């Protein structure tokens, strides 16, 4: 039997980092087992679901390259079918009509639920549970509104074997007669999920641990329907640094996938970071290609304890998890150059720094430039910010760099243009030749080589840090190097 898994987000916001990981795990499991990865949008909560959210989630998945197989299922489309099934259970006596008026909730719903739960009541205590069919039908015919609840047996327990958490059981006395269909005729989550999973022939339900207790309710529905239940695998949660819930409201943009895309992260790097949150192959290796992940991923290496997504909202340097940043930098500087080039191209295009020659006459030179500067970059954004001087004449000078490398050594104001004059005669504008010439120049003029190079760095790139200057000279080329060495712009700032 081919495995079929699904990622089933509810479109009430952008793609959350935790959801993204759930999607990733589902995807990897599907591909590992040669199965299908399906997508279902759980938009049954009409009040909160938005099309914009759906789009944002789809964008996030697309960016992560978690492509789904088959058509997207919109849960709301299946509502009639869910209703039918609830009615069927009613008909079979496995569910009953509850005529209790709906309790309107407002304000702090969580607190209200907690408060009510404290009352410790008998889960089977419902005046309409044992109403005769005739009485129930009569009331319904009279137009009295009702919800449909599953009739959970007086005694017994549900059990299932979770692929991550192991054997689970729950006594019926802990499970209320859950509502299947609202009094307005809309199906509820637990019913909808089970019906759709059956319909989509899902073999493995891989989702967040917050559903672990709910699963017992769903098992009950499977049993009432007489359908074999799928394998369940619950995933540990991803928590905020204070070990609390990671939410948009409290933590803002750090939890959104689009933030990473827009900050110049590489999908491959972020995926790699994400997969290590709650899973490991049990080895010391940490950098994996997608193919390696597909090959190694398995449910039994998923952890049981929650992971903390570590960041400090008050510190720009640690705005997101350090390891994610490191992972991205690692990818930027070590991934195959040919894979990086298109990404840099897209970044330069969006920063209006792209020139068509980079793809054509200047291709080799462009690639060499990218290869040189990527060594100390962290994100794709760095190519258009820090790396701007390599692609444009219009770049800024860092004041600290000017102070440290130029103003502190006033004679450089004449020495650097002088150096330009000397370099004018160099035809072989490459690292080694330049080194010989410039070292000779430094000695002759009594200037320290390092001071000369640092000054040049600021003049040529606007910065105080960067790759070896001899390589920068070579990469930038003679013409630009000479012009910038002679320029007085930075000196006048």
CB of 421 to RNA, least distance (A): 20
Kindly state whether residue 433 participates in binding RNA, applying the rule CB under 7 A.
Answer: no
List the structure tokens of 142: 């009279």
Q: How many residues does the chain have?
A: 493
Residue selected from 3, 22, 369, 386 as contacting RNA according to rule CB under 7 A: 386
Site for RNA in 331-350 (CB under 7 A): 333
Kindly state whether residue 117 participates in binding RNA, applying the rule CB under 7 A.
Answer: yes
Contacts of 9 (CB under 8 A, 6+ apart): 15, 19, 23, 41, 42, 57
List the structure tokens of 377: 């970059």
Burial category of 271 from C-beta neighbours within 10 Å (exposed 0-12, middle 13-18, buried 19 and up): buried
**Of residues 362 and 437, the one with the C-beta less far from RNA:** 437
Site for RNA in 209-238 (CB under 7 A): 209-214, 236-237
Which of 369, 406, 368 has its CA nearest to residue 387? 369
CB of 196 to RNA, least distance (A): 10
Residue selected from 156, 244, 252, 410 as contacting RNA according to rule CB under 7 A: 244
The answer to whether the beta carbons of residues 263 and 319 sit under 8 Å apart is no
Q: Which of the ranges 53-61, 77-85, 241-249, 352-360 carries the binding residues for RNA, by CB under 7 A?
A: 241-249
Cβ neighbour number for residue 201 with a 10 Å cutoff: 12
Kindly state whether residue 314 participates in binding RNA, applying the rule CB under 7 A.
Answer: no
Task: Give CB contacts under 8 A, 24+ apart, made by 61-64.
Answer: 61/7, 61/15, 61/20, 61/23, 63/257, 63/258, 63/261, 63/267, 64/20, 64/23, 64/24, 64/257, 64/267, 64/270, 64/271
CB of 318 to RNA, least distance (A): 7
CB of 21 to RNA, least distance (A): 10
DSSP-derived secondary structure letter, 174: G
**Of residues 35 and 469, the one with the C-beta less far from RNA:** 469
Kindly state whether residue 203 participates in binding RNA, applying the rule CB under 7 A.
Answer: no
Which of 480, 464, 324 has its CA nearest to residue 392? 480
Which of 170, 176, 204, 174 has its CA nearest to residue 190? 176
Cross-strand partners of 205:
232
Residue selected from 72, 138, 227, 465 as contacting RNA according to rule CB under 7 A: 465
Q: Which of the ranges 65-73, 136-144, 162-170, 419-427 carries the binding residues for RNA, by CB under 7 A?
A: 162-170
Kindly state whether residue 312 participates in binding RNA, applying the rule CB under 7 A.
Answer: no
CB of 91 to RNA, least distance (A): 19
x-marked contacts with RNA along 254-293 as a string, rule CB under 7 A: ----------------------xxxxx-xxx-x-------
Kindly state whether residue 239 participates in binding RNA, applying the rule CB under 7 A.
Answer: yes
Site for RNA in 140-159 (CB under 7 A): 145-147
Q: Which of the ranges 84-92, 242-250, 345-353, 417-425 carries the binding residues for RNA, by CB under 7 A?
A: 242-250
**Pairwise CA distance, residues 225 & 83, whole Å:** 14
Residue selected from 59, 62, 79, 100 as contacting RNA according to rule CB under 7 A: 100
Residue selected from 34, 107, 110, 394 as contacting RNA according to rule CB under 7 A: 110
Kindly state whether residue 13 participates in binding RNA, applying the rule CB under 7 A.
Answer: no
**Of residues 362 and 451, the one with the C-beta less far from RNA:** 451
**Pairwise CA distance, residues 346 & 431, whole Å:** 30
**Pairwise CA distance, residues 421 & 444, whole Å:** 14
Residue selected from 307, 313, 341, 426 as contacting RNA according to rule CB under 7 A: 307
**Of residues 14 and 146, the one with the C-beta less far from RNA:** 146
List the structure tokens of 84: 């039918």
Kindly state whether residue 423 participates in binding RNA, applying the rule CB under 7 A.
Answer: no
Kindly state whether residue 426 participates in binding RNA, applying the rule CB under 7 A.
Answer: no
**Pairwise CA distance, residues 383 & 457, whole Å:** 17
Site for RNA in 59-88 (CB under 7 A): 75
**Of residues 294 and 453, the one with the C-beta less far from RNA:** 453
Which of 453, 479, 448 has its CA nearest to residue 464? 453
Report, as residue numbers or ranges, the catalytic residues: 248
x-marked contacts with RNA along 356-375 as a string, rule CB under 7 A: -------------------x
Which of 475, 469, 468 has its CA nearest to residue 416? 469
**Of residues 66 and 147, the one with the C-beta less far from RNA:** 147
**Pairwise CA distance, residues 217 & 213, whole Å:** 8
Site for RNA in 33-62 (CB under 7 A): 42, 44-45, 48
Burial category of 191 from C-beta neighbours within 10 Å (exposed 0-12, middle 13-18, buried 19 and up): buried
Residue selected from 1, 71, 93, 105 as contacting RNA according to rule CB under 7 A: 105
**Pairwise CA distance, residues 144 & 427, whole Å:** 95
**Of residues 33 and 158, the one with the C-beta less far from RNA:** 158
Kindly state whether residue 165 participates in binding RNA, applying the rule CB under 7 A.
Answer: yes
Q: Which of the ranges 110-118, 132-140, 151-159, 363-371 carries the binding residues for RNA, by CB under 7 A?
A: 110-118
CB of 330 to RNA, least distance (A): 7
List the structure tokens of 288: 């994996």
List the structure tokens of 472: 């920068």
Q: Which of the ranges 135-143, 150-158, 204-212, 351-359 carries the binding residues for RNA, by CB under 7 A?
A: 204-212
């Amino acid at each position: 039997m081919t495995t079929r898994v699904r990622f089933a987000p509810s479109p009430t916001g952008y793609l959350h980092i935790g959801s993204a990981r759930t999607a990733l795990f589902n995807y990897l499991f599907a591909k590992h087992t040669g199965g299908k990865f399906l997508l279902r949008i759980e938009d049954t909560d009409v009040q909160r679901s938005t099309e914009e959210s759906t789009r944002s989630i789809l964008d996030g998945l697309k960016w992560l390259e978690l492509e789904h197989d088959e058509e997207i299922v919109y849960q709301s489309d299946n509502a009639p079918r869910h209703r039918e099934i609830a009615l069927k259970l009613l008909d079979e006596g496995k569910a009953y009509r509850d005529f209790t008026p709906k309790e309107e909730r407002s304000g702090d719903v969580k607190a209200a639920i907690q408060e009510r739960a404290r009352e410790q009541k008998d889960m089977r205590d419902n005046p309409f549970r044992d109403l005769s069919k005739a009485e129930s039908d009569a009331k319904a015919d009279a137009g009295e509104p009702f919800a449909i609840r599953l009739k959970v047996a007086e005694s017994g327990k549900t059990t299932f074997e979770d692929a991550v958490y192991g054997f689970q059981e729950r006594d019926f006395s802990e499970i209320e007669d859950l509502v299947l269909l609202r009094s307005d005729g809309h199906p509820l989550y637990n019913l909808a999920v089970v019906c759709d999973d059956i319909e989509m022939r899902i073999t493995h339900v891989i989702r967040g641990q917050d559903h672990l207790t709910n699963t017992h309710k769903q098992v009950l529905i499977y049993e009432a329907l007489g359908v074999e239940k799928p394998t369940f695998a619950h995933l540990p949660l991803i928590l905020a640094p204070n070990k609390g819930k990671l939410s948009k409201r409290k933590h803002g943009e750090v939890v959104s996938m689009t933030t990473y895309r827009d900050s110049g992260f590489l999908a491959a790097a972020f995926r790699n970071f994400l997969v290590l949150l709650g899973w490991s192959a049990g080895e010391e290796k940490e950098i994996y290609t997608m193919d390696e992940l597909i090959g190694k991923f398995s449910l039994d290496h998923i952890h049981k304890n929650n992971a903390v997504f570590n960041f400090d909202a008050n510190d720009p340097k640690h705005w997101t998890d350090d390891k994610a940043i490191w992972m991205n930098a690692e990818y930027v500087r070590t991934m195959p150059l040919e894979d990086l080039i298109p990404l840099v191209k897209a970044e330069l295009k969006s920063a209006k720094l792209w020139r068509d020659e980079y793809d054509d006459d200047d291709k080799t030179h462009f690639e060499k430039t990218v290869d040189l500067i990527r060594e100390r970059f962290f994100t794709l954004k760095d190519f258009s910010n820090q790396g701007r001087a390599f692609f444009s004449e219009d770049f800024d000078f860092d004041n600290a760099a000017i102070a440290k490398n130029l103003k502190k050594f006033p004679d450089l104001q004449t020495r650097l243009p002088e150096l330009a004059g000397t370099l004018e005669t160099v035809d072989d504008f490459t690292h080694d030749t330049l080194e010989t010439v410039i070292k000779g120049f430094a000695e002759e003029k009594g200037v320290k080589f390092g001071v000369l190079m640092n000054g040049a760095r600021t003049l040529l790139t606007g910065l105080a840090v960067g790759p070896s200057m001899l390589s920068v000279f070579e990469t930038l080329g003679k013409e630009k190097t000479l012009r910038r060495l002679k320029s007085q712009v930075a000196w006048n700032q």
